[in-house]
Structure 1
Amino acid sequence: MENVKSVCVFCGSREGVDPAHGVQARRLGELLAKRGIRLIYGGGGIGLMGIVAKTALDHGGEVVGIIPDFLVKLEVGTLPVTAQYVVESMHERKAMMFQMADAFVAMPGGIGTLEETLEITTWKQLRQHDKPIVLLNTGGYWDPLQALMRQVVDGGFAHHKVSDLWVSADTADGVFDAIAAAPQPDEVILTSHLERI
């Protein structure tokens, strides 16, 4: 945990129907600021991403937003963050988030959040990084994804240790313990099926 200076938070540009999501977003922003951990996020000022960023700023935290130009033009809203990078594409945004972050937290969100979470997990499976990934599982939001991953394993499409690629926390208060407890990825996750070829 002492090596984690920046955390990238993937989360929705909507708040969702469950007020608990907003509560946990505020708590996560507060905790990041109090711990002196820089927030890396999608750069918008709306939804859960706006809540976590604004709360971190309100508590004196450092916040870095990374947003594609076309989203700025759609006026999704930006905040007076510590640093704002306007990039050309979603691909460039995700690459910059990856480079700047020491760990990742996936809060509830929509298709974009799902895609970001699965991509960063895939990169970890492919041994392109060993950074912790935490699912902030407010109200069991990520339970269906974890069930799908079990089905992937049961169907013979992944090694059972694929479940070690991420860890889960029910609340923002558990995120940092989860980061500290995240195991290193095992090479067998990537190579176990190659033995059959």
Structure 2
Amino acid sequence: MNIETIPRKPAFSVCVYCGSRPGNTPEFAAMARQVGTWIGQHDGQLVYGGGHNGLMGIIADATLAAGGRVIGVIPKALVEKEWAHTGCTELHIVENMHERKRIMAEHADAFLALPGGIGTLEEFFEVWTWRQLGYHDKPVGLLNMNGFFDSLLVFLNSAVQAGFMNDWQMELIRTGADAEPLLQALVEAAGMTAPTLRLDQI
């Protein structure tokens, strides 16, 4: 094989959980586009649920447009509904949600949840639970754009106050309102390096 045809290994890999809907304001789409662009411009790889709808499709398209790799993982049942993003660098079609989440986690150096619905929250809570149980030691982030997760964080802190959680569990997640510094922090916490942007990317 010619060395020029060997795929380049990404500098890091971020698993992103986000909505399959776009939300009701353009700020959500802009946020997803910013996350994808940052990943692509820094020679990273996006791992996500493999859909083309909503924020999922936006972040995948932005990553690809910025030169990054995209791994999509989607259950067969959703492919049959024509929800799969066929432009992914790699598209893994699996039998069920359990296999989907396992493969996504295996390909990730870090995890980040963006605004979304019950699927996003379920995936975020699961990977956070895995972290506190010691099943992995990868950083977990929550992008709290425009206070989207404020109420959730208040509830979680009330669970701490009520004695059902501990402060150290809350310290396992990194939160931030701005995408770029949070992504940088997650990549660094994973022990990876995000390359400096080239002049033509600024």
* Cα distance, 1:137 vs structure 2: 0.8
* Cα distance, 1:18 vs structure 2: 2.4
Of all paired residues, the percent bearing the same amino acid is: 44
Aligned equivalents of 2:184 and 2:88: distance in 1?
Answer: 27
- Does 1:7 pair with 2:14? yes
Per the normalisation by structure 2, the TM-score is 0.85
* Cα distance, 1:19 vs structure 2: 1.6
Q: Residue 20 of structure 1 is aligned with which of 12, 20, 27?
A: 27
* Cα distance, 1:175 vs structure 2: 2.0
Per the normalisation by structure 1, the TM-score is 0.87
Aligned equivalents of 2:36 and 2:187: distance in 1?
Answer: 18
- Does 1:32 pair with 2:52? no
- Does 1:63 pair with 2:63? no
> Which runs of no fewer than 5 residues in structure 1 stay unpaired?
184-197
Q: Which amino acid is 2:126 matched to?
A: E
Question: In the TM superposition, what whole-angstrom CA distance separates every residue of 1:116-161 from its partner, at most 9, and x where no partner exists?
Answer: 0000001111111111111111111111221111011111111121
Name the CA shift for 1:61/1:118 in 2 (closer, same or farther; >3 Å). same
| Superposition CA RMSD, Å | 1.7
Contact 1:42/1:49, CA 8 A, preserved across alignment: yes
Q: SS at the partner of 1:157?
A: coil
Aligned equivalents of 1:103 and 1:112: distance in 2?
Answer: 18
- The answer to which of 164-173 and 108-117 deviates more is 164-173
Aligned equivalents of 1:50 and 1:128: distance in 2?
Answer: 29
Q: Which amino acid is 1:44 matched to?
A: G
Task: Tell me the matched-pair count.
Answer: 181
State how 1:1-197 maps to structure 2 within 5 Å: 5-179=12-186
Aligned equivalents of 2:186 and 2:86: distance in 1?
Answer: 27
Which residue of structure 2 lines up, in the alignment, with residue 187 of structure 1? none
